[in-house]
Structure 1
Amino acid sequence: MATKGDLTKARLAESMLELIQTNGYSGTGLSAVIAHASAPKGSVYFHFPDGKEGLGLAAVELAARRFETLIAEAALEAGTPAGSIRAAIAALSAIVGDSGFQLGCPVSVVTLEMGAESERLREACATAFESWISPTAAFLESNGLAAGEARELATVVVATIEGAVIVSRALRSTQPLANAADVLAELVDQRCGTAGAAR
């Protein structure tokens, strides 16, 4: 059973995540997070003694878990590597489009803004990306690719999706994500098909 304090801490992390997505990390102040979360003024430093950086870490970790869940659900529902990629990108495309192109990937935002300034935030972002690359690589490996090739392709998949989200937001169009889905699905089909034929 979550305590009142646990719920407040979770609300603060959720608010930080949402505000990073819309305003960026640098544009998100603690007072805005407190107001957005409807939290007591002293709650930030009580739950996050290191202030904004600690809240940023919590937001990145929350985003990592959510996208990791999205990947797992896409793999489970679609069954095939190409189908899973299409399902994951479709889910992301809906998030980006339905938000009026205000929401994107908070991990990429924090990486770009703070990667050179905060080693803790850079490491958290690296861990987040790894949490998406590793299960994707494992899924590809289970579909016939050698470990090294699966890791390489999984990295390309995640990097391409991240870039497509950014371009979609800039162009205010989900077409870049749709294009990424088509190209990645074809690439994955080709690689996994070749691996299957070689077995």
Structure 2
Amino acid sequence: MAASQGETRDRVLRTASELFQRQGYHGTGLNQVLAESHAPKGSLYFHFPAGKEQLAAESVALSGAELGEALMAAASTAPDGRTGVAALGEYFAQSLLESDFSKGCPVATVALETSAASDSLRTACDQAYDGWQRGIATALRGWGVPDDASDPLAALVLSSLQGVVMLARVQRDVTVIQTITRQLGDLIELATAPATGTTPAPL
């Protein structure tokens, strides 16, 4: 029975994560979650007694952790920052193309609708973003970005990717992702370039 209950909970959670990513928080109803997860009617409040808000918070945590792992896997084999940030952009581009632009960022869709109204959902989204940013900062240091520059540059990379994924989804065109990751690659190369030690000539 315990295994069956665990499977039901996981199925409900993953179905909700998919629906929130496609439809947003307010566009997803609990009846739809139950129907598409083929879960018994009483199972949702059994597993998520705080209801939709708890379900969404746990969905964000799950999606955030899994996407963070996928992004780091995409970047882990990159020999340098330009290749690495291109791999991050390509991951999002493929997700958009494979879903016919119906799936954006699983955290952003919830954050945009709920962060001002729900502290628990704001916290869940903040923790997901924080995990991604720390992972990107670690990757940047591995690509040679100095420690004192890695955190602010990671924030720039993350915020740029979040914005460009939304733009690509609206435009139904992923080329803008490639444009932005090329620009980010330029910035990473500047951050990793050794100081020349030369003094500018006087005017």
Unaligned runs of at least 5 residues, structure 2: 198-203
Distance in 1, Cα, partners of 2:159 & 2:105: 12
- What displacement does 1:193 show? 2.3
Deviation at 1:162, TM superposition (A): 0.4
* Aligned equivalent of 1:7: 7
Matched, 1:99 2:99: yes
- 3-state secondary structure, aligned to 2:107: helix
Asked if 1:117 corresponds to 2:122, the answer is no
Q: Which runs of 4+ in 1 moved over 6 A?
A: none
Are 1:70 and 1:88, in contact at CA under 8 Å, matched by a contact in 2?
A: no
Q: Secondary structure at the match of 2:77?
A: helix
Checking the alignment, whether the CA contact within 8 Å between 1:74 and 1:85 is kept in structure 2 is no
Aligned partner of 1:58: which letter? E
Q: Is this contact kept in 1: 2:82–2:185, CA < 8 A?
A: yes
Deviation at 1:170, TM superposition (A): 0.6
Largest Rg, 1 or 2: 2
Residue 184 of structure 1 is matched in structure 2 by 184
The CA deviation at 1:114 is: 0.2
- TM-score relative to the length of structure 2: 0.91
Q: Is the contact between residue 82 and residue 182 of structure 2 (CA under 8 Å) also seen in structure 1?
A: no
User: What TM-score do you get using the length of structure 1 for normalisation?
Assistant: 0.93
Give 3-state SS (helix, strand or coil) of 1:126's partner: helix
SS of alignment partner, residue 190 of structure 2: helix
Residue 78 of structure 1 corresponds to which residue in structure 2? 78
Task: Report how far residue 141 of structure 1 moved.
Answer: 2.2
**Deviations 1:52-103 (Å, cap 9, x if unpaired)?**
0111011101111122112221232213222111112111101111211100
TM-fit CA distance, 1:143: 3.3
Deviations 1:106-135 (A, max 9, x none): 211111100100000001100000010001
**Is the 8 Å Cα contact of residues 17 and 63 (structure 2) preserved in structure 1?**
yes
CA contact (8 A) 1:164 1:180 kept: yes
Q: Which amino acid aligns with 2:38?
A: S
Q: Give distance in 1, aligned partners of 2:29 and 2:62.
A: 19
Deviation at 1:5, TM superposition (A): 1.4
Distance 2:169 2:92 in 1: 12
Name the counterpart of 2:175.
Answer: 175
Structure 1 residue 19: Cα displacement: 0.7
Structure 1: which 5+ runs fail to align?
none
C-alpha distance in 2 between matches for 1:30 and 1:143:
44
Moved more, 126-135 or 68-77: 68-77
CA drift at 1:167: 0.4
Matches within 5 A, 1:1-199: 3-194=3-194
Q: What secondary structure sits across from 1:165 in the alignment?
A: helix
Equivalent AA in structure 1 for residue 144 of structure 2? G
Q: CA–CA distance in 2 between the matches of 1:22 and 1:145?
A: 35
Q: CA RMSD in A?
A: 1.6
C-alpha separation in 1, matches of 2:79 and 2:48: 40
Q: Contact (CA 8 Å) 1:137, 1:154: kept in 2 or not?
A: yes
Give 3-state SS (helix, strand or coil) of 1:40's partner: coil
CA contact (8 A) 2:75 2:84 kept: yes
Across the two proteins, how many residue pairs are aligned to each other?
196
C-alpha contact (below 8 Å) 1:82/1:189 kept by paired residues:
yes
What residue identity is the alignment partner of 1:11?
R
